[in-house]
Amino acid sequence: MSPQKCSLCLQHRELRNSHILPKFVVSWLKKNTPGRIRKGDSPNLRIQDSDKMPLLCNTCEETLSKWETAFTEKVFNPVHAGKLAQGQISYGPWAMKCLVSISWRVLLFHSLSQGLPNLCDQHVIEESKRALERMRLFLIDEIPSPEPYGQHLLPMEIIKDHTLSEISPFMNRYIVSIVDHDVIGSKDSAYIYSKLGTLLLFGIIVEPSIGEWDGTRVAVDEGVLRIQKYSIPARIWRFIDDRSNLVAQLHSQISDTQKEKIEASMQKDRNMLASSKLAQAIEEDIQFCGTEAFEIKSQTMRKANERIGPQKAIRNYINLLSRPFRF
Cβ-Cβ contacts under 8 Å for 276 (sequence gap 6 or more): 32, 33, 34
Q: In this predicted structure, which of 35-39, 156-160, 299-303 has the lowest mean pLDDT? A: 299-303
Question: Chain-wide mean pLDDT for the chain?
Answer: 81
Separation CA 289–CA 19 (nearest Å): 36
Is residue 165 scored above 80 in pLDDT?
Answer: no
What pLDDT is stored for residue 325 in this prediction?
43
More confident residue, 186 or 8: 8
What pLDDT is stored for residue 298 in this prediction?
45
* CA proximity to 241, closest of 189, 190, 173: 173
Q: Say if residue 54 is preceded by a cis peptide, omega within 30 of 0.
A: no
More confident residue, 66 or 165: 66
Write the burial class of residue 115 (CB in 10 Å: 0-12 exposed, 13-18 middle, 19+ buried).
exposed
Mean pLDDT of 4-26: 94
pLDDT in tens, 296-320: 554 444 454 455 444 444 344 334 4
Q: In this predicted structure, which of 45-59, 67-81, 121-135, 176-190 has the lowest mean pLDDT? A: 45-59
| 247-283: b (≥16 Cβ within 10 Å) or e | bbbbbeeeeeebeebbeeebeeeeeebeebbbbbbbe
What pLDDT is stored for residue 33 in this prediction?
63
In the chain the beta strands, taken as DSSP E runs, fall at 4-5, 12-13, 15-19, 37-39, 42-46, 52-57, 89-91, 151-155, 180-185, 190-196, 199-206, 223-225, 324-326
Mean pLDDT of 135-157: 96
Q: What sign for the dihedral angle of Cα 300, 303, 308, 314?
A: positive
Beta bridge partners of 191: 184, 204
* Structural domain spans, the chain: 4-326
Q: What sign for the dihedral angle of Cα 176, 182, 186, 191?
A: positive
Instruction: Tell me the percentage of the chain whose pLDDT exceeds 70.
Output: 71
What pLDDT is stored for residue 274 in this prediction?
58
Cβ-Cβ contacts under 8 Å for 73 (sequence gap 6 or more): none
What pLDDT is stored for residue 284 in this prediction?
73
pLDDT in tens, 124-144: 899 999 999 999 999 999 999
Report field, pTM of the whole predicted structure over 0.85: no
Separation CA 205–CA 191 (nearest Å): 5
